[in-house]
Amino acid sequence: MTVEELLDKNMITPLFSPPAQPVLSVSALNRLARETLEQTLPLAWIAGEISNLTRAASGHWYFSLKDASAQVRCVMFRGRNQFIDWLPDNGMQVEVRATPTLYEARGEFQLQVDSLRRAGLGALFEAFEQLKAKLEQEGLFDSARKRRLPAFPQRIGVVTSLQAAALRDVLTTLKRRMPALPVVLYPTPVQGADAAVQISAALQSAYRRAECDVLILCRGGGSIEDLWPFNEEIVARTVAASPIPIVCGIGHETDFTIADFAADLRAPTPTAAAELASPNRTDLIHKLELNQARLRRLARHRLDTHSQQLDYLARRLVHPGRRLEARQAALGHLTQRLRNAMVTARERRHWHHSTLARRLLQASPDFAVRQLALAARAAALTRAMHLQLAHANQETARLASHLTHLNPEAVLARGYSIVQNEQGDIIHGSDQIRVDESLNIRLARGRARVKVTGHST
């Protein structure tokens, strides 16, 4: 066992004095005290009355927080007090959330304030959170219950006070966005002890009358006490039970109420609620103009496409006379080819016979046998020529039959006629004739002259 352990257990008595404690400076002492305070005492809410309030040029607030038997100095730096939307004053009962610390330069105990609220707001916040949790557990805030606002409402209802500045903002916004949109006002107090009951009654009146497509529940900004009617359970349940879509625009952007969570849609301000509930006439006109221009382009493109298709089909449509001429030309070409083929075949046979005769003379063949063979070949050639001529005559007859079918005279014989004006032009449609005009009609047998008494397309 070491000497130090024996000393700790008082088993031996030291024969020498322990070393002296180090000497601290005032700055080191105050710093040690500040660190000890900040590590030992947690961030907490402290209630008291403001006194000796000073707002420094730097933006920091210095004041004392006191009760009946004690007081403590407090500081709230500019970086924190800029989020307070009200000005504290001497004599106010407040609650501060602060960290106990020590101002080292003077060795003074103080509270470094992080947040500041009027006394009693803690209870309001607690009631707010309890009601919010209760209704949320019941499913009143479920997103599945939320309905989309109608894109083109026929009438908008506004539930607010006649004296509220929010009403003027809402009406001005609705007039700017959609001047012809009717607005129905359901007046109700939005502040005071009985405001929650009257707000609920105004909403239920709007439900019974069922004359609006969407409701705007709104009021301007204020303290949490001013907005508290919208945190009452009766208002939240009335909003959640609405058969009409509701948009809430209560307070400023940072203000949240229970009614906001129960409504179908929350807007940061009354003006924003009016913008969400109403269509924008300017945007609708712009979209209409864009769609009109697009429709015009599509119609023009469709017309151009059909016009090109009509031109293509018109080029493919051939007059019967031209088609008959083409058939005649083809028949003449085939006849010439047949004649050329027959001449070529005859010349080829003649050359072949001449070649054979020369070879026969050179070989000095048996003339009797050769004559018999030659006669046989001549007979075969004659039969072949007759067959080829017969085939050519059949093809010529077939083509002539086709030509006969294409002959306009044959068409006339089937009961059709050719109508011509006085200039001899063929009439293809009623748009080429006029009333009292004389026309010539060519029939299969003979002609007729008629006068137009009327026509239709």
Q: How far apart are CA 51 and CA 62, in angstroms?
A: 9
Give the CA distances from residue 446 to residues 417, 425, 438, in Å, rounded to whole numbers and listed in that order: 11, 18, 17
Q: Is residue 13 part of a domain?
A: no
Amino acid at 312: Y
Q: What is the per-residue burial (b if ≥16 Cβ within 10 Å, else e) of 181-218?
A: bebeebebbbbeeebbbbbbebbeebbeeeebbbbbbb
Q: Are residues 144 and 259 in the same domain?
A: yes
User: Which CATH number characterizes residue 165's domain?
Assistant: 3.40.50.2300
Q: Is residue 234 part of a domain?
A: yes
Q: Are residues 189 and 240 in the same domain?
A: yes
Lowest mean pLDDT among 278-287, 294-303, 442-451: 442-451
Q: How far apart are CA 294 and CA 312, in angstroms?
A: 27
Q: Are residues 175 and 236 in the same domain?
A: yes
Q: Are residues 428 and 359 in the same domain?
A: no
pLDDT of amino acid 372: 86
Interior angle at CA 386, CA 385 and CA 391, nearest 5: 95
54: helix, strand or coil: strand
Percent of the chain past pLDDT 90, that is, above it, reads 26
Q: 227, 262, 279: which is the final residue of a domain?
A: 279
What is the chain's mean pLDDT, rounded? 85
76/412: higher pLDDT: 76
Q: Is residue 425 part of a domain?
A: yes
pLDDT of amino acid 246: 94
Q: Is residue 310 part of a domain?
A: no
pLDDT digits (tens, 9 = 90+) for 43-52: 888 888 888 9
pLDDT of amino acid 2: 47
pLDDT digits (tens, 9 = 90+) for 192-235: 888 999 999 999 999 999 999 999 999 988 777 788 899 889 99
Q: Are residues 179 and 88 in the same domain?
A: no
User: Which CATH number characterizes residue 96's domain?
Assistant: 2.40.50.140
* pLDDT grade for 6, boundaries at 50, 70 and 90: very low
31: helix, strand or coil: helix
pLDDT digits (tens, 9 = 90+) for 362-372: 776 667 777 88
Q: How far apart are CA 114 and CA 98, in angstroms?
A: 5
Report the candidate in 94, 100, 37 with the shortest Cα–Cα distance to residue 65. 94
Count up the domains in the chain and report the number.
Answer: 4
Q: How far apart are CA 112 and CA 103, in angstroms?
A: 10
pLDDT of amino acid 154: 92
391/401: higher pLDDT: 391
**DSSP codes, 289-303:** HHHHHHHHHHHHHHH
Average pLDDT on 123-143 reads 82
Q: Are residues 92 and 134 in the same domain?
A: no
Number of residues written out for the chain = 457
Q: Is residue 105 part of a domain?
A: yes
Q: Is residue 5 part of a domain?
A: no
* pLDDT grade for 12, boundaries at 50, 70 and 90: very low
pLDDT digits (tens, 9 = 90+) for 24-41: 888 888 888 888 888 888
- In terms of phi and psi (left: phi > 0; alpha: psi -120 to 50; beta: otherwise), the region of 58 is alpha
Percent of the chain past pLDDT 70, that is, above it, reads 93
325/276: higher pLDDT: 276
Q: Are residues 177 and 255 in the same domain?
A: yes
The set of residues, in sequence order, having a beta carbon less than 8 Å from that of 103 and lying 6+ positions away, is 73, 75, 109, 110
Average pLDDT on 49-65 reads 91
pLDDT of amino acid 8: 56
Question: What domain range is 77 assigned to?
Answer: 26-119
Res 412 pLDDT > 80:
no
108-118/438-442 β-pairing: unpaired
pLDDT of amino acid 120: 65
Report the candidate in 185, 149, 152 with the shortest Cα–Cα distance to residue 167. 185
Q: How far apart are CA 230 and CA 192, in angstroms?
A: 11
The structure tokens listed for 43 are 């961030």
Q: How far apart are CA 346 and CA 366, in angstroms?
A: 26
Res 112 pLDDT > 50:
yes
Res 183 pLDDT > 90:
yes
pLDDT of amino acid 15: 45
Q: How far apart are CA 160 and CA 269, in angstroms?
A: 13
Q: Are residues 67 and 93 in the same domain?
A: yes
pLDDT digits (tens, 9 = 90+) for 303-343: 888 888 887 777 777 777 777 888 888 888 888 898 889 98
Res 23 pLDDT > 70:
yes
Q: Is residue 189 part of a domain?
A: yes
Q: Are residues 205 and 227 in the same domain?
A: yes
357/239: higher pLDDT: 239
Q: Are residues 89 and 196 in the same domain?
A: no
Res 1 pLDDT > 60:
no
The structure tokens listed for 28 are 């080191």
- Most distant CA atoms of the chain, gap in Å: 172
Average pLDDT on 429-435 reads 83
pLDDT digits (tens, 9 = 90+) for 238-252: 999 999 999 999 988
183-187/156-160 β-pairing: parallel
Amino acid at 235: V
**For 47, how many CA atoms within 13 A lie in the half-sphere containing its CB?**
8
Q: How far apart are CA 444 and CA 416, in angstroms?
A: 8
The answer to pTM > 0.95 is: no
Res 410 pLDDT > 80:
no
Q: Is residue 147 part of a domain?
A: yes
Give the CA distances from residue 419 to residues 341, 433, 442, 444, in Å, rounded to whole numbers and listed in that order: 44, 11, 6, 12
Average pLDDT on 379-391 reads 90
Q: 263, 279, 295: which is the final residue of a domain?
A: 279
